[in-house]
């Protein structure tokens, strides 16, 4: 009896550890998404800017970025880069247990009809709309025009 109890406790304890270490996140309200490494290079035009960030999804549920809004621009679109061309995309996939990378030279957020030209040191807030997780707010610090952090 005693032995069984010990065994059961050990299993229960380690099961808890397994969950904490590798959450499957199938809870309510869709996957929990984290925004990391967000920034906006100081634009050279007063009507257009780009934004970059990483969406981390530690859950087992895939999601999709469908649109973006911001106080700073009348229009924010999501752009896919193919070769040397940039084109508006319908949505970007956020894979389960994976990430969506918007990085320089690749896919990005495009801010059009800026209400105000962002300067280095400013912070631009955006609301990212996901199909399942709903809206997620993020702040993009404005960095120098050439800011280009090393790819992960």
Binds other proteins by CB under 8 A, chosen from 1, 28, 29, 85: 85
Does the footprint of other proteins cover residue 37 (CB under 8 A)?
no
Per residue, the 3-state secondary structure of 91-132, as one string, reads CEEECCCEEEEECCCCCEEEEEEECCCCCCCCEEEEEEEECC
Under the phi-then-psi rule, with left for phi > 0, alpha for psi from -120 to 50, and beta for the rest, what region is 134?
left
Half-sphere exposure of 32 (CA within 13 A, CB side): 7
Does the footprint of other proteins cover residue 11 (CB under 8 A)?
yes
Residue range at the interface with other proteins (CB under 8 A); choices 16-24, 28-36, 118-126, 132-140 = 16-24
Binds other proteins by CB under 8 A, chosen from 1, 28, 29, 87: 87
Q: Which is nearer to other proteins, 79 or 132 (CB)?
A: 79
Instruction: Compute the least distance from the CB of residue 89 to other proteins, in Å.
Output: 12
Residue range at the interface with other proteins (CB under 8 A); choices 30-38, 118-126, 133-141, 144-152 = 144-152
Does the footprint of other proteins cover residue 119 (CB under 8 A)?
no
Q: C-alpha angle 91/94/95, rounded to 5°?
A: 135
């Amino acid at each position: 009896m005693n032995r069984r109890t010990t065994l059961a406790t050990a299993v229960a304890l380690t099961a808890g550890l397994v969950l904490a270490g590798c959450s499957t996140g199938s809870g309510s309200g869709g996957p929990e998404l984290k925004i990391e490494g967000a920034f906006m290079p100081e634009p050279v035009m007063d009507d257009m800017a780009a934004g970059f960030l990483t969406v981390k999804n530690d859950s087992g549920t895939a999601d999709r970025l469908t649109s973006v809004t911001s106080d700073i621009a009348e229009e924010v679109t999501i752009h896919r880069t193919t070769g040397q061309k940039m084109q508006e995309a319908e949505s970007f996939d956020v894979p389960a247990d994976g990430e969506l990378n918007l990085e320089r030279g690749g896919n990005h957020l495009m801010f059009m009809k800026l209400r105000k030209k962002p300067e280095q040191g400013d912070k631009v807030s955006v609301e990212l709309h996901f199909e399942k997780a709903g809206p997620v707010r993020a702040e993009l610090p404005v960095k120098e025009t050439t800011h280009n952090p090393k790819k992960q």
